[in-house]
Amino acid sequence: MGNWFCDADSIKNRGLIFGLWTCHQYCGDVTAALCTAWVLGIGLPYWWAILIPAATNILWGFLTAQLIADPATVDIITPEVRIRQQKLDAKRKELEEKGLTAEADEGPAPISYRAALAIPMVAQYAVAFGFFKLTNYVLFFWLPYFLGKNFDPVTANLIASLYSVGMMPGGIIVGYVSDLFGGRRAAVIGTFMALLIIFLSVFATCSEKLTPVPLLIMLGCMGILVGGPNNIITSAVAADLASHPSVRGNNKSLGTVTGLINGCGSITASIGLLAVGPLQDNFGWASVWIFLIGCTGIGTLLMSPKIVQELSGNVN
């Protein structure tokens, strides 16, 4: 995606483009949840709920493997490819002056993790995303269990799927709004996180007293508030960071930056998930929501330098 959508118009609308693109993962979440509800509802063995999504994933993986990753392989010259070719030409001239022969163009070498961390704000986004991802994981994995206290398993699974449904427009909304404000993605993400803290505070005080209709509305809104930042950080924000002058023209830098942010996020989230069970057993569900409020607040604070920079008028 980063290799293909790199012209001036695409960069201007990067948030919307990547927000639309990231809907695919939640289509899978919702489909799997509905599949599970259907399997349980008709009395099939539980392993059908694993087998059907797995078979679909294998088929879709085969289709994805047919996509063309680098426009240069089909002689399409994008701005990034042009920069890469200019760097290659400069390298060839330098080698020719030394009497050496330039090797065939195999593209730029991937950047190291150290080089990726040296890009401004990558480290902060990587850690902040971990706390946001932890909030997402807790809500995604524990909601059916939480709802199971008041609903049967099929109904609880269907209600919980509304959270994933809300995550789809979340990325589109954050991306579009950040484009409207000239790419000020950190400021928009910070606003969404502040609203999420309010919703989590309501859950901490009266989640077990909510009737189904308010519960459905809140879960949909929380899906938007969580999904928007999560989607944009690993797509449009990563593409913004990988466009830093130090790695501009390297079509492999985006993969490293995205992998670093996602990897750090998964590590932080997996460690944080270990606290949910003991908190719920010893202090009740209110403590879990308070824990998520703290995680959301810490993640937002880690982004505060970028938020302040954007609000002061300096987007880059």
273: CB partners within 8 A, 6+ apart: 134, 137, 138, 141
Residue tagged 């993640």 (tokens) = 299
Tokens of 277: 């069970």
Helix/strand/coil (H/E/C) assignment for every residue in 114-162: HHHHHCCCHHHHHHHHHHHHHHHHHHHHHHHHHHCCCCCHHHHHHHHHH
Question: Which of 11, 22, 55, 8 has its CA nearest to residue 239?
Answer: 11
pLDDT band at 195 (very low <50, low <70, confident <90, very high): very high
Q: Which has more pLDDT, 315 or 195?
A: 195
pLDDT digits (tens, 9 = 90+) for 246-294: 555 555 677 788 788 888 888 988 898 899 889 888 888 888 889 999 9
87: CB partners within 8 A, 6+ apart: 108, 249
State the Cα–Cα distance between residues 196 and 295, nearest whole angstrom: 11
pLDDT digits (tens, 9 = 90+) for 40-68: 888 888 888 889 888 988 998 898 888 88
Whether residue 27 contacts residue 168, with contact meaning beta carbons closer than 8 Å, is answered with yes
Question: Which of 124, 120, 241, 249 has its CA nearest to residue 183?
Answer: 241
Q: Is the pLDDT of residue 314 over 90?
A: no
Q: Is the pLDDT of residue 316 over 90?
A: no
Whether residue 127 contacts residue 264, with contact meaning beta carbons closer than 8 Å, is answered with yes
pLDDT band at 244 (very low <50, low <70, confident <90, very high): low
Residue tagged 């606290």 (tokens) = 275
pLDDT band at 192 (very low <50, low <70, confident <90, very high): very high
State the Cα–Cα distance between residues 236 and 234, nearest whole angstrom: 7
pLDDT band at 306 (very low <50, low <70, confident <90, very high): confident
- Tell me the pTM: 0.74
* Mean pLDDT, range 231-235, rounded to an integer: 79
pLDDT digits (tens, 9 = 90+) for 123-134: 888 888 889 889
pLDDT band at 8 (very low <50, low <70, confident <90, very high): confident
Distances (CA, A) of 186 to 77, 237, 258, 284: 31, 9, 16, 33
Question: Which of 134, 110, 119 has its CA nearest to residue 264?
Answer: 134
